[in-house]
Amino acid sequence: EQRVRQYLHFCREERPFGVQLFGSEPATMAKAARIVAAYQPDFIDLNFGCPAKKVVKTGAGAALLSNPDRLQAIAEAVVDAVSIPVTGKIRSRWKIPNRKTLTGQVDEMMIEIAQRLENSGIRAVTVHAVASGTTQLRSDQSKETHGQKIPYPNNVRWAAIAKIKKAIRIPVIGNGGIWNANDAKRMLDETGCDAVMVARGARGNPWIFSQISHLLCTGHHLPPPTWEERKKVILTHLALTLDFYGESQGIRVFRRHLPFYLKGLPRSTNLRSKTGQLNDVTTLLKEIEEYFDALEQEQ
């Protein structure tokens, strides 16, 4: 129960706040949804798209895309179990067992699944437009984002979002391949989806949300964050992490985030190597502050 409370902790400033669940048994999922609902989130999201082996081998996550009947039963059970809105997340394609390649028929199956979710009372569907089971990256294509070279997967398929949007009446949220504000606008324009979901594009780049919002509202781009703004956000992230987890665990958790903030920044390799194993908060703070102070002085 303590771990559940930690997972479900949120601040009122974070609303609307949702909790995502995955599982393979309708009754168990309904019970989990009732437990979660007691913490008063704004909605519950059902993850039918997770490709992680430890999830798929239990019959949950993306494995349910190969079992539409069970997927629908789970959706119906959760919708009936709680009074708050329930949403669902799927992938645009999934490598069906015993098939060596993905085929066009899979697109039609995902449309059927989206329709089943709508008929089950699901209030919105997120479509992750990257096919699971196809993780190859094209080495000749990358995207420059905030000084970072981001691999551009050859399996991002936004057209599938547009197909599903046309097939159902509930809101469709597009996901996959959004690394900056331009990507978000292009997805909305090309697919007609109702909203976009940012995932890895936000790692080390929390400004992406205000940048997207500003572009969509004004048609103009926000300037990139200054060195001082970057430092302030990193240190705030560190402080919040330490407050939430405690110093010992918190510094280990934060060390996983710091490289994403630093990736692509001038002469950050040395700082990453220095801080990679640090367990002393005072030293970590000193290294971060000195690095960004030096960048400011160079301007």
| pLDDT for the residue 4 | 81
* C-alpha to C-alpha distances, 96 to 60, 126, 164, 274, nearest whole angstrom: 14, 20, 19, 45
Q: Assess contact for 260 and 204: CB atoms under 8 A.
A: yes
> Other C-beta atoms within 10 Å of 68: how many?
17
217 is annotated as an active-site residue: no
| pLDDT for the residue 94 | 65
Q: Assess contact for 51 and 99: CB atoms under 8 A.
A: no
| pLDDT for the residue 92 | 82
Rounded to a whole number of angstroms, the distance between the first and last alpha carbons of the chain is 50
| pLDDT for the residue 107 | 72
91 burial (CB, 10 Å; 0-12 / 13-18 / 19+) is buried
Regions of the chain with pLDDT less than 70: 94-106, 131-156
The pLDDT tens digits for 227-268 are 999 999 999 999 999 999 999 999 999 999 999 999 999 999
Structural domains in the chain plus CATH codes: 2-218 (3.20.20.70), 227-298 (1.10.1200)
| pLDDT for the residue 105 | 56
| pLDDT for the residue 79 | 99
